Structure 1
Amino acid sequence: MPLLDRNGSAEDRWTRSEGAAIGNIPAAIVPWEVLAAALDAQEPEQVIGVILPNSVPFSALEPFLPRLALVAIAFPAYSDGRGFSLARQIRRAGFAGEIRASGPLIADQFAYALSCGFDTIELPEASAARQPVPQWLRARDTFSATYQRGYSESGRNVLDQRRAARAAAPIAAE
């Protein structure tokens, strides 16, 4: 599956494992259901990531975060936005590893995914063929403001920007 980061196509250093047997895989992504067993089997030089459904509550994932290098959140459909909220909670908890969206997102969601804390997006082949990398990069640059506070690099939302512009504007003489 093609992988994108904020700059375009990215190389994937991670290998998916279907179970907790991660043996000699240096960077292994395991399913949520076997995460605890995989962490118990982790070798000293090995890094572990998890792929989890977007329905997993943050409280269930939180105890594992210090031992993870990657959290991949599965999106069953582009219209199911629960993964965006989960990514935001993970970032706010201080997770500094990679957060990956995995599923059929669309290019119009790229800027929002990045602002929620996603580092990479793993697309099914069909989605990547329908919307090539240049389209994703154009979509990334389309939105410069957000409606939610704390989702932009400046931390200010559209309303905050409007208030600041009004305050900076000279008062018209009557």
Structure 2
Amino acid sequence: MLLDRNGEAPELWTRTEGAAPADPIARPLLPLEALPAALSLLAEGQPVGVEVPNTVTVEALAPHLPRLALLAVSFPAFSDGRGFSIARRLRRAGFTGRLRAVGPLIPDQFAYALACGFDEVELPATSAARQDPEQWREAAAWGGDAYQRGYERDGSILDRRRAARG
């Protein structure tokens, strides 16, 4: 299931398992290892998406960021938050394309994922079966305070406490 801040979203990308497809695909979503083979597609201006592990560095992707239309960051577990940090770094590095979190996230993490710069979340079937899209819509609308400084937030609870003291 694919979700954005408005609820369920249509999947516009086609995953490929190996190298760049020989036959044209409107919007290929490639594994990171296939990126060198897809450079010709990027040169032609075709929209290309790449799925990256949560261990990738922004520096490794930097030369390709202006030409990529989608980056899908893998989350191996909901308790592994490295993808949130990568999203913030990618946005700060100037990535303007779609940013997708892929993995077993939970609705409680959705507002923070959006604040870090993600546009959408792709859930595995097991997670989607347990979590109603309405839960995600409600979670996206959460506007409460947080201890973390997010991509779109002005400050955290701690920042406001420090400002009130001084």
Q: Compare 35-44 and 66-75 and name the one that shifted more.
A: 35-44
- Which amino acid counterpart does residue 37 of structure 1 have in structure 2? A
Closer/same/farther in 2, CA of residues 149 and 16 from structure 1, 3 Å limit: same
Give the secondary-structure state (helix, strand or coil) at the position aligned to 2:35: helix
Aligned to 1:46: 46
For the pair 1:11 / 2:10, whether they are aligned, the reply is yes
Structure-to-structure mapping, 1:59-74, within 5 angstroms = 59-74=59-74
Q: Hey, what's the Cα distance between the residues in 2 that align with 1:150 and 1:115?
A: 5
Structure-to-structure mapping, 1:87-166, within 5 angstroms = 87-153=87-153, 155-162=154-161
Q: Which runs of 5+ in 2 are unaligned?
A: none
1:144 Cα deviation (Å)? 2.1
Closer/same/farther in 2, CA of residues 45 and 63 from structure 1, 3 Å limit: closer
CA contact (8 A) 1:4 1:10 kept: yes
Larger Rg: 1
Q: RMSD value over aligned CA atoms?
A: 1.9
Q: Hey, what's the Cα distance between the residues in 2 that align with 1:24 and 1:42?
A: 13
Closer/same/farther in 2, CA of residues 37 and 112 from structure 1, 3 Å limit: same
Query: Which whole-Å deviations, capped at 9, do the CAs of 1:102-138 have from their partners, x for residues lacking one?
Result: 1111111101100110001000111011011111122
Q: TM-score under structure 1 normalisation?
A: 0.86
Closer/same/farther in 2, CA of residues 147 and 19 from structure 1, 3 Å limit: same
Give the secondary-structure state (helix, strand or coil) at the position aligned to 1:100: strand
User: What percentage of residue pairs aligned between the two structures are identical?
Assistant: 58
Give the secondary-structure state (helix, strand or coil) at the position aligned to 1:47: coil
Q: Hey, what's the Cα distance between the residues in 2 that align with 1:143 and 1:106?
A: 17
Aligned pairs, number: 165
Q: Hey, what's the Cα distance between the residues in 2 that align with 1:58 and 1:5?
A: 23
Q: Hey, what's the Cα distance between the residues in 1 that align with 2:54 and 2:151?
A: 20
Q: TM-score under structure 2 normalisation?
A: 0.89
CA contact (8 A) 1:146 1:152 kept: no
